[in-house]
Structure 1
């Protein structure tokens, strides 16, 4: 209803909230300045206040108190409650220790008395992240302004005072999902099967069976608004089959409706398990799309018009009155409604009953326009994930590239979908995540009513895979990246390629000989090797990462000589050869690399994570995969589906461990538990910290027991019980825990990957680590499909970390299973 936005009876101007792609929001503001004149467009000031904790620290600093002392006093003020800070006066009433030092220490009393006088005063002005105003004529004809930088005008009034001064406020918000969609469409346009034809997102069918199949499955990670486990569960139960169902679900999944039973009632009515009934027959047309449930604010207005005889402008006033629940205004509106309903032929008792019913639900009603707009983005992202899953996931990774938690989770989800995620490649990677195509030889069949990625398999004949971008490698700046891309696009004789043909690097020696070493230093080369960016070219030479890393020093020296030759004007011999011949000659071959032992999996992954921020080639928990399934009852993703307070057992690596002092003087800790599926935050309370600290700080994977805790997420575009945390009960090193639980060891050897040397090494490892666990041996031949089991070898071992590492170095894969 347009009257929900603007009508003759509305006194105040409406709010304009518009979402834009994160990367292009500044372009919109620049456009508005150009359109209306730069002196008529400004941004709104925001004022940061002196809140209780900050004012204590500021006053303490001015009074010459040591920062640590002022900090300890501020720490006694309770933490904010539901986002609202606790005033100093209330803190003195609630915190006995703060009250005690206030009464006993004259200096503290002086500090807090001064702080209370200054509390809630404005500390400094800033610029609102989204607020924009447009005026007729220069802004300063209407409000005072200041300029934080040339030609950028900011009002000296906040958002409320700006409106009071007669200006209209616009919120130009940046929405990450619009960026994801934009990047995904760009990637789709590059698919081989598009053949230059742009993908039209606006033209997608709104009744696509495969998209609704995805929504009904609840497999909606990274689909806009449907990422929380609660929302996914709702969609599994609701099984939406039309766009209107998505709109309603988006409106219903909020704190208010979730606590009233409205959501369950809506689902039961949709599936016919509860009869759809209307408060009054005349309201059927208004409520039939929501199965008789009042979901939207617009429905409240329509009920007022249809039954109470209101104009739509008057109905909007009623809606606002019901939302504010002012008794005097509600009594006045009730009388108007009953009188108007009487003129429509409805009895006063019936009219009063309907008014009370509407008033009850109006407090939970949501703006349908807002819900529909967001539901459209939900449907569009679901469509992209359904039909172009690889491009969609690559776009999501690009948008989240600076958020390690989200990248880890998205990579894990991509692999569960059957999407191959490749490490960076010095010849193939761009700055961001891209999609590479390796067409499958056999024709791939897919039912049109099912998503492309389903059951852990991607049914796409073009074989798309995600390639990590070089921009995500730590220690490589923009200058170094430019140098790499420039060298890659140069011809063998050092001229820019006219047709855009790439000249691949043949190995790290060729790389250092061609790039500008003033911008690409030894650290850059090391980072590229450690993250696996040379794996593809070095694999052809039989060179592993450790050898490539050891050869960097010599490669840099050769590169310096090549650079000196270029500066001296000497022509490279390679410039006289064809490109393929030049690449062959430029390759140094494996003999140029030092002979060193390969990194074991633990070191390889550690170096990979140090350069990328996450694991790509594997995970430290890989060797324990079967054991974790046996001993754990949850992982970092499935805990979100557990009940609050439920106790779970998980395994993982400790990331970002930190401790902080509590109000009682003790300590508590926080960290992220990371497994192959993702991450979850863990809280360690004082009473458990001393016992768990050693395990949490040893650097090895751990096994922990914890209680599930949910925190309500109130972000504007994603409301609901979304954030899952764990409260630790106990923790121990994973290897130690598994060893304590292990009763036997099973060795699984493949005939075609085992030789006499490895068998001798295996016998030595078994002799070196004797212990109580009997060893079972299985010999497999996958090609001939036979296997031999030796249940009683007469051998027994200690399943220690050293024993497992020795087997991995020997066989290059996991051959040992703890039972």
Structure 2
């Protein structure tokens, strides 16, 4: 699982960059995960692919004979902070205090002056020991990849241990694991994205229920139950009161709930619209439930909205809400659709297009293809020329796939991209050492395809951003 990069939700190794590194490395053992936890830092990007090539057998020589054996476990690449200290001592004759001083200076901001002084001493010491200018430049440049932040090996090892523990839970208790991830605010992704991952893992997603839901998400076996914390706009004190009273026994009916716990009508309406009250009155649909609620609910001594003089509520014969209304209610009260992936809403229109699903992109390397995807996270970076570009992760029902928007594409497409709707993406499939991605040339909203068909359009607004009221991470 770790070697495949199937680590969404796993501590520290769920980011797109780390999952792609795992796919390139194709190893999931603990010693290599310790290396990966440290090497996956922005300043070391240029060394990651060389590390992977050496991992897979590419011959290499140390940058200087004096480094022989010092970096053997990481294939001649400096990975940990202490590698800087050891290299400075071996190549330039630094003592331990001076070498550690260089290591500390690399982690500080505005340390240019001090680094220039260290560079002069490093060059002088290395020349004395027979290093060539080219060797000295290469070693110093690798040391500079530790500028900003980096890990020492014990730090990386401790992180990798927690990663392994959480990976074990994901592998053997996926429902319980993802419930805990979502309930604690998630990691790199939104609740929407984690629920999609749960669905891809074959878990049944169960909606909120006044008798079955806890405040937090809950997982058991092959089921993931949405927690009442997901309800948008409901007062937390109301939800807590509902759960406290339930400790005395389950609610037998809507009337039993109303008699046992005093909740504002506005919160009860939210519960009803999410479907959390459905099981209390199995013979009634939601319009009938709303009718009964408005007849029986009393708040602050006032008469019910639909006061009925006779004992017992009168429920007229009413048609259930249409499916589109229930979907809209889910979006407004939960902030997401949980019963199915929202791409299903476009199924008929998308079925007319020649699309490659995420799970089959590897079969199309080097070809120009079209995909559909929902944006779940992204990161804007700058090229060496200072131009903006972005790495984005999209998902469809079959998986998550990574995309690259190079500067020209970024300028054309970035203004229209968002996490509120699906997009059609056209580009070339790339394979970098086993990590598949799509270099996007064109992105357009799926709504255009729907508009061109006879299907109704669904306006999602900001609803599908997901996660406990939080949006996907779009840096």
Structure 2 length-normalised TM: 0.70
SS at match of 2:223: strand
Larger radius of gyration: 1
Deviations 1:181-240 (A, max 9, x none): xxxxxxxxxxxxxxxxxxxxxxxxxxxxxxxxx111111112233333332121012122
Native 8 Å contact 2:291 2:315 kept in 1: yes
Match of 2:143 among 349, 362, 385: 362
CA drift of 1:359 comes to 0.8
**1:468 aligned onto 2:226:** yes
Corresponding residue of 1:408: 192
SS at match of 1:216: coil
**1:378 aligned onto 2:163:** yes
Match of 2:124 among 325, 335, 356: 335
CA drift of 1:610 comes to 1.1
Structure possessing the higher relative contact order (Cα contacts under 8 Å, 6 or more residues apart)? 2
SS at match of 1:310: coil
For the structure 1 residues 526 and 729, does the alpha-carbon distance in structure 2 shift closer, same or farther, using more than 3 Å as the test? closer
Q: Within 2, Cα distance between the matches of 1:239 and 1:327?
A: 39
CA drift of 1:734 comes to 4.5
**1:302 aligned onto 2:24:** no
Match of 1:596 among 318, 325, 328: 318
CA drift of 1:602 comes to 1.0
Q: Within 1, Cα distance between the matches of 2:347 and 2:77?
A: 47
Native 8 Å contact 1:422 1:466 kept in 2: yes
Q: Within 2, Cα distance between the matches of 1:304 and 1:233?
A: 31
For the structure 1 residues 355 and 297, does the alpha-carbon distance in structure 2 shift closer, same or farther, using more than 3 Å as the test? farther
Alignment of 1:190-589 (within 5 A): 214-258=1-45, 260=46, 262-272=47-57, 274-281=58-65, 283-319=67-103, 324=112, 326-327=115-116, 329-339=118-128, 341=129, 348-349=130-131, 354-365=135-146, 366-369=150-153, 370-400=155-185, 406-435=190-219, 437=220, 463-490=221-248, 503-516=249-262, 520-538=263-281, 541-556=282-297
Q: Within 2, Cα distance between the matches of 1:479 and 1:728?
A: 44
Native 8 Å contact 1:652 1:702 kept in 2: yes
Deviations 1:655-683 (A, max 9, x none): xxxxxxxxxxxxxxxxxx9977899999x
Corresponding residue of 2:353: 631
What 5-or-longer segments of structure 1 have no aligned partner? 1-213, 342-347, 438-462, 491-502, 564-587, 654-672, 709-721, 740-799, 803-819
For the structure 1 residues 229 and 619, does the alpha-carbon distance in structure 2 shift closer, same or farther, using more than 3 Å as the test? closer
Corresponding residue of 1:34: none
SS at match of 1:286: coil
CA drift of 1:307 comes to 4.6
Native 8 Å contact 1:706 1:727 kept in 2: yes
Q: Within 2, Cα distance between the matches of 1:434 and 1:678?
A: 24
Q: Within 2, Cα distance between the matches of 1:230 and 1:480?
A: 41
Q: Within 1, Cα distance between the matches of 2:401 and 2:255?
A: 38
Q: Within 2, Cα distance between the matches of 1:231 and 1:730?
A: 28
Structure 1 length-normalised TM: 0.43
SS at match of 2:71: helix
More strand by share: 1
Deviations 1:364-398 (A, max 9, x none): 13432443343333333222212322221001111
Deviations 1:552-609 (A, max 9, x none): 112315997999xxxxxxxxxxxxxxxxxxxxxxxx8xx9643211112111111122
For the structure 1 residues 474 and 331, does the alpha-carbon distance in structure 2 shift closer, same or farther, using more than 3 Å as the test? closer
SS at match of 1:631: coil
For the structure 1 residues 649 and 737, does the alpha-carbon distance in structure 2 shift closer, same or farther, using more than 3 Å as the test? farther
Q: Within 1, Cα distance between the matches of 2:402 and 2:52?
A: 30
Q: Within 2, Cα distance between the matches of 1:425 and 1:387?
A: 26
CA drift of 1:319 comes to 4.2
Deviations 1:637-670 (A, max 9, x none): 999xx99xx88553779xxxxxxxxxxxxxxxxx
Deviations 1:461-503 (A, max 9, x none): xx2522222232123213322331233234xxxxxxxxxxxx1
SS at match of 2:13: coil
Corresponding residue of 1:174: none
SS at match of 1:533: coil
Native 8 Å contact 1:705 1:730 kept in 2: yes
Native 8 Å contact 2:15 2:188 kept in 1: no
What 5-or-longer segments of structure 2 have no aligned partner? 305-311, 376-393, 428-436, 458-475
